[in-house]
């Protein structure tokens, strides 16, 4: 593994893919929760719902573009040619490598996700297509990493798919709610909707976090070969340690909101407590962005067990 410009380009594109996918998932959930209240044009929920719709569309466009950028860097890295020359290698990568097939699955899901984000219609069919797209992207992204070494129908792929999906739910809710949607519910007339949406964000995040920890533990044990020494001595292990530190920070911030800020907001419904919840969620969102960047670097590093033989 060489830490050159191509490696950094791959990691940057992968990090952008991670963040954009999670932002799209979080925005989709928030938009669904706010949709009914936002039907009336004078509803205080409408600005927040509109932000969720715009955020989802923007995130899916970024996801599609980042997918294309990542493929170009991957082709250059695999073939040893320059970035412009890699364009001619792309068809070979797509048709003759498991990375290309995994990318095609993820890209098809991203295009379907973009299509659902572009439609103004709501309903069962649109929601079903949206979540089919999310699952397809998760499967494709899982097939791009080290889990694919175990085979396309392996437990490693299943656990990595679950990890990608639930991390996108947890991180996506934090980012979309903290950076975009919940600040639009800052008025006193929207306080009830803010409390209800904040409760939904907290409850769904708890379930996602439990699944993140279970699937993450499986991946950590597999990547390290069950050896703490491998984690301690390898670059992969150092990146994993950074990722776990950021996850711990996000957990602490999420815990502060769930067990302190949210109960107080429910009791008082005050502007100060509403701002406290949103501000802590904002910090959690920044921590999750760091988690997604670390995850991108981790997926492009040699696993600890392989690096140490």
Q: What's the pLDDT score for residue 203? A: 97
The number of domains in the chain is 1
Q: What's the pLDDT score for residue 145? A: 75
Per-residue pLDDT tens digits of the chain, which is 309 residues long: 567 788 899 999 999 999 999 999 999 999 999 988 888 777 888 999 999 999 999 999 999 999 999 999 999 998 888 899 999 999 999 999 889 999 999 999 999 999 999 987 777 888 899 999 999 999 999 988 766 666 666 788 999 999 999 999 999 999 999 999 999 998 888 999 999 999 999 999 999 999 999 999 998 888 777 778 778 888 888 999 999 999 999 999 999 999 999 999 999 999 999 999 999 999 999 999 999 999 999 988 888 766 555
182: DSSP letter: G
The tokens describing 209, both together, are 């976090």
Domain that residue 87 falls in: 5-307
- The model's pTM: 0.95
Q: What's the pLDDT score for residue 204? A: 98
Q: What's the pLDDT score for residue 129? A: 94
CB-CB contact of 15 with 293 (8 Å) = yes
Residue 211's nearest CA partner among 177, 153, 168 is 168
Inter-CA distances, 17 with 12, 171, 206, Å: 9, 13, 24
Rounded Cα distance between 197 and 187, Å, is 14
Rounded Cα distance between 101 and 97, Å, is 7
| CA dihedral of 174, 179, 180, 181, whole degrees rounded to 10 | 40
Rounded Cα distance between 168 and 166, Å, is 5
Q: What's the pLDDT score for residue 9? A: 93
User: Given CA atoms 119, 121, 125, 126 in this order, what sign does their dihedral have?
Assistant: positive
Q: Where are the alpha helices (DSSP H) in 80-190?
A: 90-96, 98-118, 124-142, 155-176
Q: Which CATH number do you get for residue 132?
A: 1.20.1630
Q: What's the pLDDT score for residue 221? A: 86
Inter-CA distances, 51 with 56, 182, 268, Å: 8, 9, 26
Q: What's the pLDDT score for residue 155? A: 83
Rounded Cα distance between 52 and 262, Å, is 21
Rounded Cα distance between 13 and 15, Å, is 5
Q: Where are the alpha helices (DSSP H) in 179-270?
A: 191-224, 228-233, 235-256, 262-268
Angle 191-194-197 (CA atoms, 0-180°, nearest 5)? 150
Residue 172's nearest CA partner among 295, 53, 281, 285 is 285
Taking only the tens place, the pLDDT of each residue in 90-122 is 999 999 988 999 999 999 999 999 999 998 777
Q: What's the pLDDT score for residue 308? A: 57
């Amino acid at each position: 593994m060489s830490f050159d410009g191509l490696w950094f380009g791959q990691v940057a594109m992968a990090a952008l893919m991670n963040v954009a996918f999670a932002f799209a998932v979080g925005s989709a959930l928030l938009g669904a929760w706010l949709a009914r209240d936002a039907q009336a044009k004078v509803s205080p929920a409408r600005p927040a719902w509109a932000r969720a719709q715009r955020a989802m569309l923007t995130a899916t466009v970024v996801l599609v573009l980042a997918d294309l950028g990542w493929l170009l860097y991957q082709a250059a890295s695999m073939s040893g040619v320059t970035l412009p020359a890699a364009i001619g290698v792309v068809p070979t990568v797509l048709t003759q490598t498991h990375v290309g097939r995994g990318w095609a699955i993820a890209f098809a899901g991203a295009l379907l996700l973009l299509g659902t984000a572009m439609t103004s219609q709501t309903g069962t069919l649109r929601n079903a297509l949206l979540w089919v797209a999310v699952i397809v992207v998760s499967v494709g992204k899982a097939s791009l990493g080290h889990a694919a070494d175990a085979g396309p129908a392996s437990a490693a792929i299943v656990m990595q798919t679950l990890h990608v999906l639930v991390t996108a739910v947890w991180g996506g809710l934090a980012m979309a709610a903290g950076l975009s949607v919940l600040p639009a519910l800052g008025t006193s007339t929207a306080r009830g909707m803010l409390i209800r949406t904040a409760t939904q964000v907290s409850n769904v995040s708890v379930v996602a976090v439990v699944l993140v920890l279970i699937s993450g533990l499986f991946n950590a044990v597999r990547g390290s070969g069950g050896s703490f020494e491998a984690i301690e001595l390898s670059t992969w292990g150092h990146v994993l340690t950074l990722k776990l530190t950021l996850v711990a920070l996000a957990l602490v911030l999420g815990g502060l909101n769930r067990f302190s800020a949210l109960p107080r907001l429910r009791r008082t419904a005050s502007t100060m407590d509403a701002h406290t919840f949103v501000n802590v969620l904002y910090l959690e969102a920044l921590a999750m962005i760091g988690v997604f960047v670390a995850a991108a670097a981790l997926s492009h590093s040699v696993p600890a067990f392989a690096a140490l033989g």
